[in-house]
Amino acid sequence: MSQRSTAPLKRSTIRRTLHWFWWVTRKKPFAAFMAVFTSVTYTALLNYANTYVMGLIVDRVSAEPVPAAQVFAVFAPYVVALLLVNAVGQTCSKLQDWSVMQLEMNGNYHLARLCFDTLSNQSMTFHTSRFGGSLVSQTSRFMSGYVGLVDVVVYSLIPTLASIVCTIVLLWPASPLFVCVLFVMLTLYVTVAYTMYQRILPLSAATSAAQSRLSGVLSDAVTNILAVKTCGREDFERELFDAADREALAAERVSMGAMMRRGP
C-alpha cells in the first residue's frame, strides 16, 4: 500500500505560515517601509556612493598636482560629500536596526497571542493525542521563524537585490559587455544555490522535527514527573529521552554535512 504524498500538506503549511507572518507585518506598516527603505539606502550609500566619491578624489589627485594653497578649496567638496554619505549611511543602518526590532517585537507579541488562542480552542482529543512539550516547542519555532525571516529579508535579501540593481545601473553605460557577463554568472550562481538549497531543506525540516520531539519528551517528563516517580518509570523515560536525543544528534550531523558541502 503506497503512502499518500505529503507535498500538498507541506505547501499548504508554508502558505499558512507566510500568511500569518504577513498578517503581523502589516500591523507595523511604517516599520516595514523603513526596513526596506533604510536597507536599500544604506547599501547604495556606503557600498556605492562612498566608493564613487573616493574614486573622484583619486581621479582628481591623479589628474594634476594640486598646489598647497588650493588643497582645501579643491578637496573640501569631496570631503564634505564623503562625510555626508557616511553620516546618512550610518543613520540608515541604525534606523534599519530599529525597524527590525519593531517588526520582531510586534511579531512575537501577536504570534504568541495567536498561538495561545489557537491551542486553547482545540478539543481535549487534540491535546490528549499530542505531546504538550512538542506543541510548546513548535510554537516557539513558529515565532522564531518570523524573527529569522525578517533578519534574512532585511539584512541579506534586500541589500543583495539593491547591490545587483546598483551594479547594473552604474556599470551599464560604461561597460555593457561586463554587465552581461556578470548577469550570466549571477544567474548560474542563483541556479546552483537554489538547487542545493532544495536538497538541504528536507534535512533542515527533519532536524527541526527531531529537536521538537526531543523538547517534547523532556517537557512531558518534567511536567508529569510525579506520575513518573510514582510508577517508577525513570529508566523508561530516560530511554525515551536518550533515543530522541540520539535522533536529534544524527539529524543535526546530516544537516551540518550538507551545509558544509554547500558552503564552498
Tens digits of per-residue pLDDT, 191-214?
888 888 777 777 777 787 777 777
Confidence band of 10 (pLDDT split at 50, 70, 90)? low
Tell me: do 114 and 35 sit in the same domain.
Answer: yes
- Domain count of the chain? 2
Q: Does residue 2 belong to any structural domain of this protein? A: no
Tell me: do 113 and 208 sit in the same domain.
Answer: no
How many helices (H) and strands (E) would you count in the chain? 10, 0
- What pLDDT is attached to residue 3? 46
Average pLDDT, the chain: 84
Q: How far apart are CA 37 and CA 151, in angstroms?
A: 15
Residue 1, pLDDT above cutoff 50:
no
Tell me: do 148 and 232 sit in the same domain.
Answer: no
Of 171, 191, 217, which residue is a domain's last?
Answer: 171
Distances (CA, A) of 29 to 37, 95, 99, 170, 183: 12, 15, 10, 31, 33
The predicted model scores a pTM of: 0.73
Of 171, 196, 219, which residue is a domain's last?
Answer: 171
| Host H or E run for residue 76 | helix 71-120
Q: Which domain holds residue 49?
A: 11-171
Q: Does residue 4 belong to any structural domain of this protein? A: no
